[in-house]
Amino acid sequence: MKKASRTIVAIVLSIAILFALSMTACYIPLSKNETTYDIVINVDDTIPTGKTFSQIVYEARTCCVDVYAGNTFGRLGSAGSGVIFGASKTGTEYYIITNHHVIDDQNSFRVTLLFIDGAGNESNVDYEAELIGSSKSNDIAVLRIAKQGLETITVATFGDSNKIKVGNDVFAIGNPLGVLGGTVSKGIISATERLTYVEGIGNMRLIQTDTATYQGSSGGALFNEYGKVIGITNAGYSYYDGLNFAIPSNVALNAAERILGTVEKNASGNVSSFGYVEGESQLGISTGDYVCYDGYNSYGRVAVVSVMELTDNSDAKDKLVSYQACSKSLSTNYFHSIKSIEYKPETGNRREVDVTSSDQAQEILNNVQAGTSITIKARRVIQVLPGDSIYGADFFYLSDQTESIQIDVTQFKHTLPTA
Protein backbone atom coordinates (compact mmCIF):
# COMPACT_ATOMS: atom_id res chain seq x y z
CA MET A 1 0.00 0.00 0.00
CA LYS A 2 1.23 3.44 -0.84
CA LYS A 3 2.09 5.50 2.20
CA ALA A 4 -0.53 8.13 2.88
CA SER A 5 1.82 10.52 4.58
CA ARG A 6 5.04 12.04 3.37
CA THR A 7 8.28 11.59 5.26
CA ILE A 8 10.53 14.58 5.65
CA VAL A 9 13.90 13.58 4.29
CA ALA A 10 17.03 14.82 6.07
CA ILE A 11 20.15 13.80 4.17
CA VAL A 12 23.44 14.05 6.07
CA LEU A 13 26.74 13.41 4.28
CA SER A 14 30.23 13.27 5.74
CA ILE A 15 30.88 16.61 4.08
CA ALA A 16 27.69 18.38 5.03
CA ILE A 17 24.52 18.70 3.03
CA LEU A 18 22.07 21.19 4.45
CA PHE A 19 18.62 21.78 3.10
CA ALA A 20 18.00 25.51 3.41
CA LEU A 21 14.65 25.95 1.81
CA SER A 22 12.26 28.78 1.15
CA MET A 23 8.69 29.16 0.00
CA THR A 24 6.52 32.22 0.29
CA ALA A 25 3.35 31.34 2.20
CA CYS A 26 0.97 34.24 1.84
CA TYR A 27 -2.74 34.41 1.14
CA ILE A 28 -3.48 36.09 -2.18
CA PRO A 29 -7.07 37.20 -2.89
CA LEU A 30 -8.40 35.15 -5.77
CA SER A 31 -10.45 36.16 -8.74
CA LYS A 32 -12.02 32.80 -9.41
CA ASN A 33 -14.52 31.70 -12.01
CA GLU A 34 -17.73 32.26 -10.08
CA THR A 35 -19.84 30.96 -12.98
CA THR A 36 -18.11 27.58 -12.81
CA TYR A 37 -17.93 27.15 -9.05
CA ASP A 38 -19.93 29.29 -6.68
CA ILE A 39 -19.36 27.90 -3.21
CA VAL A 40 -19.66 29.02 0.38
CA ILE A 41 -16.50 28.91 2.53
CA ASN A 42 -16.62 29.76 6.23
CA VAL A 43 -13.76 31.98 7.42
CA ASP A 44 -14.26 33.27 10.96
CA ASP A 45 -11.72 34.22 13.62
CA THR A 46 -14.17 34.93 16.45
CA ILE A 47 -13.70 33.10 19.74
CA PRO A 48 -16.67 30.93 20.77
CA THR A 49 -17.90 31.32 24.34
CA GLY A 50 -19.56 28.89 26.69
CA LYS A 51 -18.06 25.76 25.12
CA THR A 52 -15.72 23.30 26.73
CA PHE A 53 -12.81 21.87 24.79
CA SER A 54 -14.53 18.49 24.52
CA GLN A 55 -17.61 20.17 23.03
CA ILE A 56 -15.46 21.95 20.46
CA VAL A 57 -13.79 18.69 19.46
CA TYR A 58 -17.15 16.91 19.36
CA GLU A 59 -18.51 19.44 16.87
CA ALA A 60 -15.34 19.56 14.77
CA ARG A 61 -15.31 15.82 14.10
CA THR A 62 -18.24 15.93 11.68
CA CYS A 63 -16.46 18.20 9.16
CA CYS A 64 -13.55 15.72 8.92
CA VAL A 65 -13.54 12.80 6.50
CA ASP A 66 -11.52 9.67 5.78
CA VAL A 67 -10.19 9.54 2.20
CA TYR A 68 -9.55 6.36 0.24
CA ALA A 69 -7.92 6.42 -3.19
CA GLY A 70 -7.56 3.43 -5.48
CA ASN A 71 -7.41 2.36 -9.09
CA THR A 72 -9.95 1.15 -11.62
CA PHE A 73 -9.58 -2.40 -10.37
CA GLY A 74 -10.92 -1.38 -6.96
CA ARG A 75 -7.60 -1.84 -5.18
CA LEU A 76 -6.79 0.59 -2.41
CA GLY A 77 -3.72 2.60 -3.28
CA SER A 78 -3.62 5.06 -0.40
CA ALA A 79 -5.62 6.13 2.61
CA GLY A 80 -5.64 9.62 4.04
CA SER A 81 -7.80 12.27 5.60
CA GLY A 82 -9.64 15.39 4.53
CA VAL A 83 -11.83 18.25 5.65
CA ILE A 84 -15.04 19.65 4.13
CA PHE A 85 -14.16 23.25 3.30
CA GLY A 86 -17.09 24.47 1.22
CA ALA A 87 -20.54 23.79 -0.19
CA SER A 88 -22.58 24.89 -3.17
CA LYS A 89 -25.22 27.47 -2.31
CA THR A 90 -27.88 24.89 -3.10
CA GLY A 91 -26.35 22.52 -0.55
CA THR A 92 -26.26 19.68 -3.06
CA GLU A 93 -22.49 19.50 -3.49
CA TYR A 94 -19.66 19.64 -0.96
CA TYR A 95 -15.94 20.15 -1.45
CA ILE A 96 -13.11 18.47 0.42
CA ILE A 97 -9.47 19.47 0.85
CA THR A 98 -6.90 16.70 1.10
CA ASN A 99 -3.25 16.34 0.11
CA HIS A 100 -2.04 15.95 -3.45
CA HIS A 101 0.15 13.04 -2.41
CA VAL A 102 -2.92 11.15 -1.11
CA ILE A 103 -4.61 11.18 -4.54
CA ASP A 104 -1.49 11.08 -6.71
CA ASP A 105 -1.25 8.07 -9.06
CA GLN A 106 -4.83 7.00 -8.22
CA ASN A 107 -8.02 7.30 -10.28
CA SER A 108 -10.94 6.35 -8.04
CA PHE A 109 -11.90 8.03 -4.79
CA ARG A 110 -14.30 7.67 -1.91
CA VAL A 111 -14.69 9.33 1.45
CA THR A 112 -16.28 8.36 4.75
CA LEU A 113 -18.30 10.98 6.64
CA LEU A 114 -19.26 10.92 10.30
CA PHE A 115 -22.83 11.80 11.33
CA ILE A 116 -24.05 12.33 14.89
CA ASP A 117 -27.81 12.49 15.53
CA GLY A 118 -29.61 14.44 18.24
CA ALA A 119 -29.31 11.53 20.64
CA GLY A 120 -25.53 11.37 20.19
CA ASN A 121 -25.61 8.21 18.07
CA GLU A 122 -22.76 8.05 15.57
CA SER A 123 -22.82 6.54 12.08
CA ASN A 124 -20.43 6.46 9.14
CA VAL A 125 -21.56 6.87 5.52
CA ASP A 126 -19.42 6.27 2.43
CA TYR A 127 -19.59 8.64 -0.54
CA GLU A 128 -18.11 8.28 -3.99
CA ALA A 129 -15.91 11.32 -4.60
CA GLU A 130 -14.83 13.08 -7.77
CA LEU A 131 -11.39 14.63 -8.13
CA ILE A 132 -11.72 18.31 -9.07
CA GLY A 133 -8.08 19.32 -9.31
CA SER A 134 -4.72 19.42 -7.62
CA SER A 135 -1.59 21.45 -6.85
CA LYS A 136 1.59 19.48 -6.33
CA SER A 137 3.81 22.28 -5.01
CA ASN A 138 1.15 23.21 -2.44
CA ASP A 139 0.36 19.51 -1.78
CA ILE A 140 -3.36 20.28 -2.02
CA ALA A 141 -6.12 18.42 -3.87
CA VAL A 142 -9.87 19.09 -4.05
CA LEU A 143 -12.57 16.41 -4.12
CA ARG A 144 -16.32 16.85 -4.66
CA ILE A 145 -19.20 14.81 -3.28
CA ALA A 146 -22.92 15.02 -3.97
CA LYS A 147 -25.32 14.96 -1.05
CA GLN A 148 -27.15 11.64 -0.90
CA GLY A 149 -30.07 12.18 1.43
CA LEU A 150 -31.51 14.36 4.16
CA GLU A 151 -28.46 14.19 6.40
CA THR A 152 -26.85 17.45 7.51
CA ILE A 153 -23.27 17.78 6.29
CA THR A 154 -20.97 20.02 8.31
CA VAL A 155 -18.65 22.52 6.61
CA ALA A 156 -15.49 23.45 8.53
CA THR A 157 -14.81 26.97 9.74
CA PHE A 158 -11.36 28.32 8.93
CA GLY A 159 -9.26 30.66 11.02
CA ASP A 160 -6.44 32.96 9.90
CA SER A 161 -3.18 31.00 9.90
CA ASN A 162 -1.21 34.26 9.73
CA LYS A 163 -2.27 34.95 13.33
CA ILE A 164 -1.06 31.73 14.92
CA LYS A 165 1.75 31.86 17.49
CA VAL A 166 4.25 29.43 18.92
CA GLY A 167 2.73 27.80 21.98
CA ASN A 168 -0.90 28.01 20.80
CA ASP A 169 -2.94 24.91 21.63
CA VAL A 170 -4.03 22.85 18.61
CA PHE A 171 -5.63 19.51 17.88
CA ALA A 172 -5.76 17.29 14.81
CA ILE A 173 -8.35 14.86 13.49
CA GLY A 174 -7.32 12.18 11.03
CA ASN A 175 -7.37 8.60 9.85
CA PRO A 176 -4.15 6.95 11.13
CA LEU A 177 -3.13 3.79 9.25
CA GLY A 178 -6.26 4.17 7.13
CA VAL A 179 -8.37 2.29 9.69
CA LEU A 180 -8.63 4.61 12.71
CA GLY A 181 -10.85 7.34 11.28
CA GLY A 182 -11.83 10.20 13.55
CA THR A 183 -8.74 9.92 15.73
CA VAL A 184 -8.17 13.09 17.79
CA SER A 185 -4.76 14.20 19.07
CA LYS A 186 -3.70 17.35 20.91
CA GLY A 187 -0.54 19.45 21.07
CA ILE A 188 0.90 22.90 20.54
CA ILE A 189 2.38 24.90 17.69
CA SER A 190 6.15 24.48 17.78
CA ALA A 191 6.95 26.82 14.85
CA THR A 192 4.76 28.86 12.53
CA GLU A 193 6.86 28.91 9.34
CA ARG A 194 9.34 26.07 9.39
CA LEU A 195 11.38 25.83 6.19
CA THR A 196 11.59 22.18 5.28
CA TYR A 197 11.66 19.67 2.47
CA VAL A 198 8.84 17.20 1.89
CA GLU A 199 9.71 14.02 0.05
CA GLY A 200 8.18 13.80 -3.42
CA ILE A 201 6.66 17.29 -3.19
CA GLY A 202 9.53 19.71 -2.80
CA ASN A 203 10.19 22.69 -0.57
CA MET A 204 7.50 24.09 1.69
CA ARG A 205 7.06 26.51 4.57
CA LEU A 206 4.98 24.67 7.16
CA ILE A 207 3.46 24.86 10.62
CA GLN A 208 5.40 22.59 12.98
CA THR A 209 3.48 20.90 15.79
CA ASP A 210 3.97 18.12 18.31
CA THR A 211 0.37 17.02 17.72
CA ALA A 212 0.52 13.30 16.94
CA THR A 213 -0.10 12.41 13.30
CA TYR A 214 0.68 9.20 11.45
CA GLN A 215 0.43 7.56 8.05
CA GLY A 216 -3.17 8.10 7.01
CA SER A 217 -3.41 11.47 8.78
CA SER A 218 -2.29 13.32 5.65
CA GLY A 219 -4.87 15.82 4.42
CA GLY A 220 -6.60 16.06 7.78
CA ALA A 221 -7.38 19.26 9.63
CA LEU A 222 -5.24 20.93 12.27
CA PHE A 223 -7.57 23.01 14.45
CA ASN A 224 -6.85 25.84 16.86
CA GLU A 225 -8.26 25.57 20.38
CA TYR A 226 -11.53 27.16 19.22
CA GLY A 227 -12.25 24.57 16.53
CA LYS A 228 -11.14 26.68 13.54
CA VAL A 229 -9.01 25.01 10.87
CA ILE A 230 -5.57 26.64 10.77
CA GLY A 231 -3.64 23.93 8.92
CA ILE A 232 -3.81 20.83 6.73
CA THR A 233 -1.57 18.03 8.02
CA ASN A 234 0.85 16.77 5.39
CA ALA A 235 4.20 15.53 6.73
CA GLY A 236 6.17 14.19 9.66
CA TYR A 237 9.28 12.30 10.65
CA SER A 238 8.58 8.58 10.54
CA TYR A 239 10.88 7.70 13.43
CA TYR A 240 10.42 10.64 15.77
CA ASP A 241 7.30 11.52 17.71
CA GLY A 242 6.41 15.15 18.08
CA LEU A 243 7.87 16.36 14.77
CA ASN A 244 4.86 16.87 12.52
CA PHE A 245 3.89 19.50 9.99
CA ALA A 246 0.87 21.14 8.40
CA ILE A 247 0.21 23.46 5.48
CA PRO A 248 -1.06 26.85 6.75
CA SER A 249 -4.81 27.11 6.15
CA ASN A 250 -4.46 30.40 4.23
CA VAL A 251 -2.14 28.70 1.76
CA ALA A 252 -4.40 25.64 1.49
CA LEU A 253 -7.56 27.71 0.90
CA ASN A 254 -5.82 29.90 -1.64
CA ALA A 255 -4.71 26.82 -3.59
CA ALA A 256 -8.17 25.20 -3.33
CA GLU A 257 -9.96 28.31 -4.57
CA ARG A 258 -7.56 28.74 -7.48
CA ILE A 259 -8.04 25.08 -8.40
CA LEU A 260 -11.81 25.58 -8.44
CA GLY A 261 -11.42 28.68 -10.58
CA THR A 262 -9.70 26.80 -13.40
CA VAL A 263 -11.85 23.65 -13.59
CA GLU A 264 -13.45 23.00 -16.97
CA LYS A 265 -16.77 21.16 -17.18
CA ASN A 266 -18.51 19.52 -20.11
CA ALA A 267 -22.13 19.94 -21.17
CA SER A 268 -23.22 17.35 -18.59
CA GLY A 269 -21.63 19.31 -15.77
CA ASN A 270 -18.84 16.79 -15.21
CA VAL A 271 -15.19 17.72 -14.94
CA SER A 272 -13.51 17.59 -18.36
CA SER A 273 -10.22 19.13 -17.25
CA PHE A 274 -8.84 19.20 -13.71
CA GLY A 275 -8.31 22.51 -11.97
CA TYR A 276 -4.84 23.78 -11.19
CA VAL A 277 -3.03 26.76 -9.71
CA GLU A 278 -2.36 29.00 -12.68
CA GLY A 279 1.34 29.72 -13.10
CA GLU A 280 2.44 26.77 -10.94
CA SER A 281 5.49 25.40 -12.67
CA GLN A 282 6.61 21.85 -13.24
CA LEU A 283 10.22 22.91 -12.69
CA GLY A 284 10.59 20.64 -9.64
CA ILE A 285 14.16 21.52 -8.60
CA SER A 286 15.22 21.20 -4.95
CA THR A 287 18.59 22.60 -3.91
CA GLY A 288 20.99 22.17 -1.01
CA ASP A 289 24.30 23.57 0.25
CA TYR A 290 27.16 21.14 -0.37
CA VAL A 291 30.87 21.21 0.47
CA CYS A 292 33.32 19.47 -1.90
CA TYR A 293 36.97 19.66 -2.92
CA ASP A 294 37.74 22.63 -5.16
CA GLY A 295 39.69 20.55 -7.65
CA TYR A 296 40.81 17.03 -8.52
CA ASN A 297 44.22 17.24 -6.87
CA SER A 298 43.27 19.76 -4.19
CA TYR A 299 42.74 19.45 -0.46
CA GLY A 300 40.91 22.78 -0.44
CA ARG A 301 37.17 22.91 0.13
CA VAL A 302 34.49 24.97 -1.55
CA ALA A 303 30.78 25.41 -0.80
CA VAL A 304 28.41 25.05 -3.74
CA VAL A 305 24.65 25.13 -4.24
CA SER A 306 23.76 21.66 -5.46
CA VAL A 307 20.78 20.26 -7.33
CA MET A 308 19.60 17.86 -4.65
CA GLU A 309 16.50 16.35 -6.26
CA LEU A 310 14.27 16.63 -9.32
CA THR A 311 10.61 15.72 -8.91
CA ASP A 312 8.91 13.27 -11.25
CA ASN A 313 8.14 14.89 -14.63
CA SER A 314 10.38 17.85 -13.79
CA ASP A 315 10.98 20.29 -16.65
CA ALA A 316 14.69 19.89 -15.84
CA LYS A 317 14.66 16.13 -16.37
CA ASP A 318 17.43 15.01 -18.76
CA LYS A 319 18.98 18.48 -18.48
CA LEU A 320 20.17 18.63 -14.88
CA VAL A 321 21.56 15.75 -12.80
CA SER A 322 20.67 15.75 -9.11
CA TYR A 323 22.64 14.45 -6.15
CA GLN A 324 19.88 11.91 -5.54
CA ALA A 325 20.15 10.58 -9.11
CA CYS A 326 23.94 10.43 -8.87
CA SER A 327 23.81 8.53 -5.57
CA LYS A 328 21.44 5.93 -7.02
CA SER A 329 23.05 5.51 -10.43
CA LEU A 330 25.87 3.20 -11.43
CA SER A 331 26.42 5.06 -14.70
CA THR A 332 26.44 8.71 -13.53
CA ASN A 333 29.45 9.97 -11.60
CA TYR A 334 28.46 13.60 -11.12
CA PHE A 335 25.67 15.98 -10.16
CA HIS A 336 25.16 19.65 -10.98
CA SER A 337 25.84 22.67 -8.83
CA ILE A 338 24.22 26.03 -9.65
CA LYS A 339 26.42 29.02 -10.37
CA SER A 340 23.76 31.48 -11.61
CA ILE A 341 20.10 31.62 -12.70
CA GLU A 342 18.77 33.79 -15.49
CA TYR A 343 15.01 34.29 -15.25
CA LYS A 344 12.17 36.75 -15.67
CA PRO A 345 10.48 37.82 -12.43
CA GLU A 346 6.75 38.53 -12.32
CA THR A 347 7.53 42.23 -12.68
CA GLY A 348 10.56 43.77 -14.35
CA ASN A 349 13.02 42.65 -16.97
CA ARG A 350 14.80 39.36 -17.35
CA ARG A 351 17.86 39.16 -15.09
CA GLU A 352 20.77 36.91 -14.20
CA VAL A 353 21.56 36.37 -10.53
CA ASP A 354 24.73 34.81 -9.13
CA VAL A 355 23.72 32.10 -6.65
CA THR A 356 25.40 32.15 -3.24
CA SER A 357 23.12 29.90 -1.15
CA SER A 358 20.45 27.25 -1.61
CA ASP A 359 18.02 29.50 0.24
CA GLN A 360 18.49 32.20 -2.40
CA ALA A 361 18.32 29.71 -5.28
CA GLN A 362 15.15 28.10 -3.93
CA GLU A 363 13.41 31.43 -3.54
CA ILE A 364 14.05 32.17 -7.21
CA LEU A 365 13.11 28.71 -8.47
CA ASN A 366 9.92 28.51 -6.41
CA ASN A 367 8.66 31.75 -7.92
CA VAL A 368 9.42 31.00 -11.57
CA GLN A 369 6.14 31.10 -13.48
CA ALA A 370 4.94 28.56 -16.02
CA GLY A 371 5.20 29.77 -19.60
CA THR A 372 8.65 31.30 -19.12
CA SER A 373 12.15 29.90 -19.45
CA ILE A 374 15.23 29.96 -17.24
CA THR A 375 18.91 29.49 -17.97
CA ILE A 376 21.02 27.86 -15.29
CA LYS A 377 24.79 28.13 -15.42
CA ALA A 378 26.00 24.98 -13.72
CA ARG A 379 29.21 23.14 -12.86
CA ARG A 380 29.57 19.43 -12.27
CA VAL A 381 30.47 18.00 -8.87
CA ILE A 382 32.33 14.86 -9.89
CA GLN A 383 32.66 11.68 -7.87
CA VAL A 384 36.00 9.86 -7.90
CA LEU A 385 35.98 6.28 -6.62
CA PRO A 386 38.67 4.57 -4.49
CA GLY A 387 41.68 3.57 -6.54
CA ASP A 388 41.12 6.40 -9.02
CA SER A 389 42.72 9.13 -6.91
CA ILE A 390 45.46 10.04 -4.49
CA TYR A 391 42.92 10.16 -1.66
CA GLY A 392 42.42 6.41 -1.34
CA ALA A 393 38.67 6.88 -0.87
CA ASP A 394 35.78 8.17 -2.95
CA PHE A 395 35.36 11.92 -2.95
CA PHE A 396 33.67 14.72 -4.89
CA TYR A 397 35.36 17.67 -6.54
CA LEU A 398 34.18 20.72 -8.49
CA SER A 399 34.93 20.78 -12.20
CA ASP A 400 36.27 23.86 -13.99
CA GLN A 401 33.79 23.76 -16.87
CA THR A 402 30.57 25.81 -16.75
CA GLU A 403 27.52 24.58 -18.65
CA SER A 404 24.68 26.84 -19.77
CA ILE A 405 21.39 24.93 -19.52
CA GLN A 406 18.08 26.39 -20.77
CA ILE A 407 14.86 25.02 -19.31
CA ASP A 408 11.38 25.80 -20.66
CA VAL A 409 8.97 25.98 -17.74
CA THR A 410 5.56 24.35 -18.23
CA GLN A 411 2.26 24.56 -16.33
CA PHE A 412 1.63 21.81 -13.78
CA LYS A 413 -1.69 20.06 -14.45
CA HIS A 414 -2.62 16.84 -12.72
CA THR A 415 -3.62 13.89 -14.89
CA LEU A 416 -4.96 10.50 -13.92
CA PRO A 417 -2.73 7.45 -14.38
CA THR A 418 -3.43 5.51 -17.54
CA ALA A 419 -2.54 2.09 -16.15
Residue 263 and residue 337 in one domain: no
Residue 238 and residue 318 in one domain: no
> Which CATH number fits the domain that encloses residue 219?
2.40.10.120
Residue 222 and residue 340 in one domain: no
Per-residue pLDDT of the chain (419 residues; tens, 9 = 90+): 344 444 433 322 322 333 332 332 322 233 334 345 678 999 988 888 889 999 999 999 999 999 999 876 556 688 999 999 999 988 899 999 999 999 998 989 999 999 998 888 999 999 999 999 999 999 999 999 998 877 889 999 999 999 999 999 999 999 998 899 999 999 999 999 998 878 878 778 999 999 999 889 999 999 999 999 999 999 888 777 789 999 999 999 999 999 999 998 777 777 888 999 999 999 999 999 999 999 988 889 999 999 999 988 899 999 999 999 999 988 899 999 999 999 998 888 999 999 999 989 988 998 899 999 999 999 999 998 776 666 666 789 999 999 999 999 999 999 888 75
Question: Of 139, 161, 281, 314, which is the active-site residue?
Answer: 139
Question: Of 218, 314, 322, 337, which is the active-site residue?
Answer: 218
Whether 358 maps to a domain, the answer reads: yes
Residue 293 and residue 209 in one domain: no
Last residue of one domain, picked from the residues 221, 241, 273:
273
Domain count, the chain: 2
Residue 182 and residue 329 in one domain: no
Taking only the tens place, the pLDDT of each residue in 392-414 is 667 899 999 999 999 999 999 99
Q: Is 101 a catalytic residue?
A: yes
Whether 112 maps to a domain, the answer reads: yes
Whether 319 maps to a domain, the answer reads: yes
Long-range contacts of 315-320 (CB under 8 A, 24+ apart): 315/281, 315/282, 315/283, 315/284, 315/407, 315/408, 315/409, 315/410, 316/283, 316/284, 316/285, 316/405, 316/407, 319/405, 319/407, 320/285, 320/376, 320/378, 320/405, 320/407
Q: State residue 19 phi and psi, 5-degree precision.
A: -85, 115
Q: How many Å apart are CA 27 and CA 29, to the nearest integer? A: 7
Residue 112 and residue 247 in one domain: yes
Question: Of 66, 78, 101, 314, which is the active-site residue?
Answer: 101
Whether 124 maps to a domain, the answer reads: yes
Tell me the pTM. Answer: 0.83
Whether 9 maps to a domain, the answer reads: no
Q: Is 100 a catalytic residue?
A: no
* Domain enclosing residue 117, as ranges: 17-273
Taking only the tens place, the pLDDT of each residue in 42-75 is 998 888 888 999 999 999 999 999 999 987 655 6
